[in-house]
């Protein structure tokens, strides 16, 4: 059995920028499941801080973080494009620092972004892309009502290998 850890889950605020970038860059290298790799985000702390402020004010974007002590160890996002025909579609992203997998942090982050989406009154569909080999994430998505809508062959290239990517969606 794993020990218990106390995590805070809340919306990100601009002062989270440095910790958030650290978490993003660390987790990008832990698995082959993230779109970002060694190239990093390319953002400065100031730019990230500005970006977080915009998300915080937005009703079609959200960024939820999981915090242990004063360190961000996971995050989940919903991002929509602000065009009338598609602003109801939020794309979901989620990552947890591998050191803390299995503590239900992914579950809590997912529940929180889905709650936010439900309450947004704009988002009516949440969609995501996930590598077919990522069984852990797919388990989580199916458990929370996402349906497989298609598989993109050669949807991603990791370590020189083309891999299939699942498209999943959920109406909210």
3-state secondary structure of 121: coil
Is residue 132 part of the contact set for ligand COA (CB under 6 A)? no
Is residue 31 within the footprint of ligand COA (CB under 6 A)? yes
Q: Return the residue of 20, 23, 94, 114 that touches ligand COA, per CB under 6 A.
A: 94
Shortest spacing between CB 128 and ligand COA, in angstroms: 6
Name the segment binding ligand COA (CB under 6 A); options: 43-51, 81-89, 103-111, 119-127: 103-111
Q: How, if at all, do strands 61-68 and 8-11 pair?
A: antiparallel
Burial class (CB in 10 A: 0-12, 13-18, 19+), 12: buried
State the nearest-atom distance from the C-beta of 57 to ligand COA, in Å.
26
Number of residues counted as binding ligand COA (CB under 6 A): 22
Decide: is 102 part of the binding site for ligand COA (CB under 6 A). yes
Report the residue count for the chain. 172
Q: Which is nearer to ligand COA, 34 or 122 (CB)?
A: 34
> Does an H or E element contain 91, and which?
strand 89-96
Q: Between helices 45-57 and 17-28, what is the axis angle to 10°?
A: 100
Question: Is residue 63 involved in binding ligand COA (CB under 6 A)?
Answer: no
Specify the residue, 115 or 136, whose C-beta has the smaller distance to ligand COA: 136
Applying the rule CB under 6 A, the residues between 137 and 156 that interact with ligand COA are: 137, 139-140, 143
* Distance, CA of 52 to CA of 17 (rounded, Å): 7
What lies within 8 Å, CB to CB, of 94 at 6+ separation is 74, 75, 76, 77, 106, 109, 110, 113, 137
| 128 belongs to the binding site for ligand COA (CB under 6 A) | yes
Q: Select from 134, 144, 158, 169 the one that contacts ligand COA (CB under 6 A).
A: 134
Task: Please give the C-alpha separations between residue 100 and each of 14, 66, 105, in angstroms, as whole numbers.
Answer: 24, 11, 8
Among candidate residues 165, 152, 172, the one with its CA nearest the CA of residue 62: 172
**Residues in touch with ligand COA (CB under 6 A):** 31, 33-34, 94-96, 101-107, 128, 130, 134-137, 139-140, 143
């Amino acid at each position: 059995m794993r020990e218990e850890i106390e995590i805070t889950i809340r919306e990100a605020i601009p002062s989270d920028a440095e910790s958030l970038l650290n978490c993003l860059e660390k987790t990008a290298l832990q698995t082959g499941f993230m779109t970002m790799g060694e190239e990093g985000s390319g953002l400065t702390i100031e730019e990230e801080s500005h970006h977080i402020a915009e998300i915080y004010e937005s009703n079609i974007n959200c960024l939820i973080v999981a915090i242990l002590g004063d360190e961000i160890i996971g995050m989940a996002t919903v991002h929509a494009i602000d065009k009338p025909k598609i602003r109801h579609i939020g794309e979901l992203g989620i990552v947890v620092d591998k050191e803390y997998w299995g503590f239900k942090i992914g579950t809590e982050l997912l529940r929180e972004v889905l709650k936010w989406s439900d309450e947004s009154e704009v988002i009516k569909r949440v969609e995501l892309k996930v590598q077919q080999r990522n069984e852990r994430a797919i388990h989580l998505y199916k458990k929370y009502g996402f349906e497989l809508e298609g598989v993109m062959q050669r949807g991603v290239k990791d370590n020189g290998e083309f891999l299939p990517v699942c498209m999943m969606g959920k109406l909210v």
